[in-house]
Amino acid sequence: MKKILLWFMPSLFILLTVSIGSGHNNSAPSLDCAICHQGDFAPELVSLEGLPETYTPGKRYKLSISVNSDLKSMGDIAGGFALESSAGDILVTDGKNTQLINSILTHTQDGSELRKWNFAWKAPLEKVDVTFTIMAVAANGDFSSTGDIVSAGSFTTKAKK
């Protein structure tokens, strides 16, 4: 019985992580990379470019996320990310490298070869403060969740008065 349990528990764990699908090189629609990726944590590496300090309601902005690490990848996989915004619409402008899953923007399989990803955001019509929450991984390309660097950041913008 004990032996069966010993086999059962790890396979259950693998099954669960695969079916939740929250962190693989083809997507990671979860804002908690660090649960599984227990490498170095370096919050300063992630940046969001193109976000104005104040936004015009309803306007569309071109933004990009990057994770600026000098960690070398031993293969093709270089990184991944998840991004969520508290208001407005996230628009996919590069369907090859990014995708939306449950309102979270994340990398695709192709996008995992990058450390910078482009998208657009349509500002909300109501004048609210908006926060973008990002988690990103700079991967070492070993097809595992170890040895990668995890970064996280949040960025805010306010409506123009």
Query: Does 33 interact with ligand HEC (rule: CB under 6 A)?
Result: yes
Q: Work out which of 69, 98, 108, 140 binds ligand HEC, going by CB under 6 A.
A: 140
Q: From the CB of 82, what's the least distance to ligand HEC, in Å? A: 3
Q: From the CB of 103, what's the least distance to ligand HEC, in Å? A: 14
Cβ(149)–Cβ(137) below 8 Å:
yes
Q: What is the DSSP letter of 26?
A: T
Cβ(148)–Cβ(137) below 8 Å:
yes
Instruction: Specify the amino acid at residue 10.
Output: P
Count of residues in contact with ligand HEC, rule CB under 6 A: 29
- Residues of this chain that interact with ligand HEC (CB under 6 A) are 17, 22-25, 28, 30, 32-33, 35-37, 77, 79-82, 112, 135-137, 139-145, 148
